[in-house]
Amino acid sequence: MGTRNKRFWGTLDPFYEAGGVLGRKVANARFMDFLLAADPFDEYHFFLSSRKARESLHKTLTTLAPGIAARGGFKVMDRRDLPRALAGNNYHCFHQSDCITCQPHLARLRNAYSPTIFPITGVTHSLSYADYGRQFLQHLWPGATPRDCIVSTSTAGVAAVGKFLDALRRDYNLEPDFAGPSVRRIPLGIDPQTYTPGAGRRDVCNILVFGRIAHYSKMDLLPLLRALHQLFTDGMPPEEVRLTLAGWTDDEDDFTPTLRELAENIGLELAIKARPTEEEKTRIFREADIFVTIADNPQETFGITVLEAAAFGLPCIASDYDGYKDLVVDGKTGIRVPTIGANSTRDADLLAPLIFDNQYHLILAQQTAVQVPTLAEAVRTLVENPELRRAMGAAARERVEREFAWSAVIEQYLQLWDELWKLPADAQALRNERHPGHIAYSEIFGHYSTHNLAGDMVLKTGRTGEAMYRGKDFPLLYAGMERIIESELLQKLAFLARKPIDCDTLLRKFLAIATHMSQDRAEYHVLWALKHDILELQ
């Protein structure tokens, strides 16, 4: 199969990251697992910045997908190889594990080098960090096309990204239709086959909360304790209910001791499982009867634990907030508890760029109210109705298998990449469109030099160049320069200037030999040759 007929998938990200376990990292790794399992492309190209990262990723990919590796389906390259790779391959798409960092800059490189304007997609994670206005501004530039797509994991997230872009157009006095990316929703997924529903606990109704136990970055659990206190005050025996809090906690956090004290005061049996292993996590979920998550923090966009709970066959009581609106079907797979939000967040708006993210997230979350009486009623309903719990849990499991399995999510991406190709994009018109966020170094720093290269400069082969075209010397390239300087052409450049020649004529003759080369790259060769005594100025 010729290169032009192959389907290439590309990315600048490794997807498999070392370090602490974070929801973002897990989601990115599982995406790649199931993309490779589906294997819809001939080759998968990864462009990473460091040799260590490239070697590590190649080893990981070979281990995880030996069949693809055996056919040469993985190419793990240096990012400096991007111009040549983009010019030489017809990519079907590039996909970034995060839309924030590189996506619009990759689009500029694509426009400059690729023969086609292939789709570039990037997924959102948390959307509420203070510097994201600046990050999303980079997506608004004249070279953006509808084929550049930000993929948000929830309906609420899609709306938030749209509002980001609309506000930026308004506040920077851009036209309402000023060029920018399209926005689509594709959820995160799980592998339902790895989750087996449990039987709960017969002696008590076990309520589970799983996630970051942090009132400043996930959810405030006090409304849940207030709701349970109301139920106990109204006659529910405390011994019928047990609350388990499991997930990430900071060692010096004073929040968990406060929760223990409050639980003891109301007579609630409380178990806190800090940083459980995967084996412990499975046991905790299988012993639960009800899953509760009352997110009140804009840092939460999706809610992967809701899907995990559903896969374990648990009904979910969730705040009617953010991505939870997509994940819990009220009255069928669980109960959504209404929330009341703010009309103005002025204090957080003004302070956020100047303080830590956990500080402004706390300010924001504390003016999002989860209605305690309604929460109490939802808990009562499921505690007192085991059959309803089982029916909702079964419905939740069935919905996850149908709509949120990773295999179904990957299929949505394949459909999206195909659909984006149908949207308009004019490669020629975009070719030289500058991104306003990119530094034009020759423009900004051109005055640093005594002179800049000019067409009427007269050049002649230097002593090193004379030795080179006679085969008595050779160019010395620093590591990385071989991607820019084509050493086999330097001898020809030296030969062309064996008699004095003006720069314009030299470049014209050089480009007649190096027909694949751009004017900019040819000028780079002339300047490099001047620097290394292959050419000299007359």
Q: What is the 3-state secondary structure (H, E, C) of 385-427?
A: CHHHHHHHHHHHHHHHHHHHEHHHHHHHHHHHHHHHHCCCCCH
Question: Quick count: other Cβ atoms within 10 Å of Cβ 518?
Answer: 14
- At 1 the pLDDT is 44
From 146, 78, 148, 149, select the one nearest 107 (Cα to Cα): 148
DSSP H or E segment with residue 470: none
CATH number of 193-403: 3.40.50.2000
* Sign of torsion over alpha carbons 476, 478, 479, 484: negative
Give the DSSP letter string of 85-108: HHHH--EEEEEES-SSSSHHHHHH
Contact between 433 and 111 (Cβ < 8 Å): yes
- At 199 the pLDDT is 78
Domain parsing of the chain, residue ranges:
3-189+412-430, 193-403, 445-537
Q: How far is CA 332 from CA 204, 294, 309, in A?
A: 23, 18, 15
- At 203 the pLDDT is 80
- At 19 the pLDDT is 65
Q: Report the C-alpha gap between 177 and 328 in whole angstroms.
A: 34
Domains 3-189+412-430 and 193-403 share a fold: yes
pTM, full prediction: 0.93
- At 202 the pLDDT is 73
Contact between 187 and 161 (Cβ < 8 Å): no
Task: Mark the ranges of the chain whose per-residue pLDDT is less than 50.
Answer: 1-2
Give the DSSP letter string of 446-457: GGGSS----TT-
Q: How far is CA 143 from CA 175, 288, 428, 436, in A?
A: 15, 51, 11, 10
**Bridge partners of 461?**
535
Contact between 302 and 188 (Cβ < 8 Å): yes
Q: ∠ at Cα 280 (408, 330), nearest 5°? A: 45
From 498, 505, 506, select the one nearest 525 (Cα to Cα): 506
- At 4 the pLDDT is 60
* Sign of torsion over alpha carbons 25, 26, 30, 33: positive
Task: Please tell me the number of Cα atoms within 13 Å of 337 on its side-chain side.
Answer: 26
Contact between 99 and 150 (Cβ < 8 Å): yes
Question: Using alpha carbons only, how large is the chain's radius of gyration in Å?
Answer: 29
196-253 confidence digits (pLDDT tens): 998 766 789 999 999 988 888 889 999 999 999 999 999 999 999 999 999 988 777 7
Identity (one letter) of the amino acid at 537? L
* Sign of torsion over alpha carbons 349, 162, 189, 305: positive
DSSP state at residue 239:
G
380-384: long-range contacts, CB 8 A cutoff, minimum separation 24: 380/231, 380/236, 381/335, 382/205, 382/289, 382/290, 382/315, 382/317, 382/335, 383/205, 383/207, 383/231, 383/236, 383/240, 383/241, 383/290
% pLDDT > 70, the chain: 98
Burial of 257 (0-12, 13-18, 19+ CB in 10 A): exposed
- At 254 the pLDDT is 78
| 3-189+412-430: CATH class | alpha beta
DSSP state at residue 330:
B
Identity (one letter) of the amino acid at 341? G
- In this structure, what are the phi and psi dihedrals at residue 206, rounded to the nearest 5 degrees? -95, 115
